[in-house]
Amino acid sequence: MTRHQGRHFLHIPGPSPVPERVLRAMDMPVIDHRSAEFAELGKTVLQGAKAIFKTANPVIIYPSSGTGAWEAAIVNTLSPGDKVLMVETGHFATLWQQMAARWGIEVDFIPGDWRRGVDPAVIEEKLTADTAHQLKAVMVVHNETSTGATSRIGEVRAAMDRVGHPALLMVDTISGLASADFRFDEWKVDVAVSCSQKGFMLPPGLGFNAISDKARAVAKTNKMPRSFWDWEDMLKLNANGFFPYTPATNLLYGLREAIAMLLEEGLDDVFARHQRLAAATRAAVDHWGLEVLCQEPKDFSPVLTAVLMPPGHDADQFRQIVLDNFNMSLGSGLSKVAGKVFRIGHLGECNELTLMAALSGVEMGLRVAGVPHRAGGVDAAMTLLEQPLPGNAPRHLAVVK
């Protein structure tokens, strides 16, 4: 095992690095989760989470992974034998489809090439053909962590509205929330799924469901068994800041601080910062002569960039060389793209200098690994990040074209 001095650079697309403020906030004694003190904490995070989802509707917080939040979304809204529409945008869309099938859901899974997000026109075509309204839900991944492609959820909702289809709109925004623009109420999302270790900048351990009135009404009549995941059990106690079973108290302390940090910066500024860092990363990749996996510019992810390795070069070997030599972790390729891509995370507590460190590590790694490339990708990223800003705006608000 190689030993290094200094900090480890974690640039996978989640879990993201946990800021010092959040670490300090979690460094607290565990308190009685039936006390008035805890009720105040519970009310604060439940209300604050609504601001991050951009909703006035309830947000339910589970002591779970994002996978648990997926399951909660399914078992509260769908019944065995129901039909749903999903799109193969990548590894995580495929996993959600497999979970739905295990619960007896019939999935119309639109095949994809893993190089772009959802095509709203295809959704519209499918829903137009469903004149009997057999499809109970459209289930879409907002930001596909395996590919670096986002889906345009507002356009998906517009397609559903043009058809007038009554299906629920269910969105996995596990890696999108708090990093890429997400508007639960404006886009009329019915169920949104997320978790703690991405844009919320927390350790793993919290799962989220934001739910519409329509989804809650469906949940009261569906026939899927559930206990731990039951929305109504949660909502009854959430009204007073409590939970029906032991919550992850110290993670909730961290969540309170993370929400405060996001709102202090301002969500629009958070999104602009992520877009700017993503553009600088793509500038470096283009200069190196490598290829970004996502092929549709409108779908470029602000959360991560997946990079294709040249033929004859293994992405996992390259990642190991970067780790051994420069103490930096990059994301691996998953399932269909295993060994073919590496992923650079630029989400959460990431700024120009942390990104430049990451890109320097990648460029040095390319040289050490003997991967064909054109030197100077870091300079290309710096040129973009050095663009002058209008007025006194923070640098991350510069317009990037």
- Report the pLDDT value the prediction gives residue 284, as an integer from 0 to 100: 98
Residue 247 DSSP class:
-
Six-digit token pair at 130?
């469903």
Q: Is the separation of the CB atoms in 102 and 133 below 8 Å?
A: no
Q: For residue 5, give the amino acid letter.
A: Q
pLDDT tens per residue across span 208-228? 999 999 999 999 999 899 999
pTM of the model: 0.95
As a whole number of Å, the end-to-end CA separation of the chain is 43
Tokens of 196: 């703690």
Q: Model confidence over 316-349: pLDDT tens digits?
A: 999 999 999 999 999 999 999 999 999 999 999 9
Mean per-residue pLDDT, 156-169: 98
- 102 is an annotated ligand-binding site residue: no
The confidence score (pLDDT) of residue 398 equals: 53
98-137 pLDDT, tens per residue? 999 999 999 999 999 999 999 999 999 999 999 999 999 9
Strands 304-308 and 341-345: antiparallel
Q: Are 187 and 153 in contact (CB under 8 A)?
A: yes
> Where residue 397 falls among pLDDT bands split at 50, 70, 90?
low
Instruction: Please give the C-alpha separations between residue 159 and each of 116, 124, 152, 211, in angstroms, as whole numbers.
Output: 18, 5, 11, 21
Phi, psi of 207 (to 5 degrees): -115, 150
How does residue 393 score in pLDDT terms, banded at 50, 70 and 90?
Answer: low
C-alpha neighbours within 13 Å on the C-beta side of residue 175: 26
Q: Report, as an integer, the average pLDDT of 52-62.
A: 98
The domains found in the chain, sorted by start residue, are 9-16+266-397 (3.90.1150.10), 20-263 (3.40.640.10)
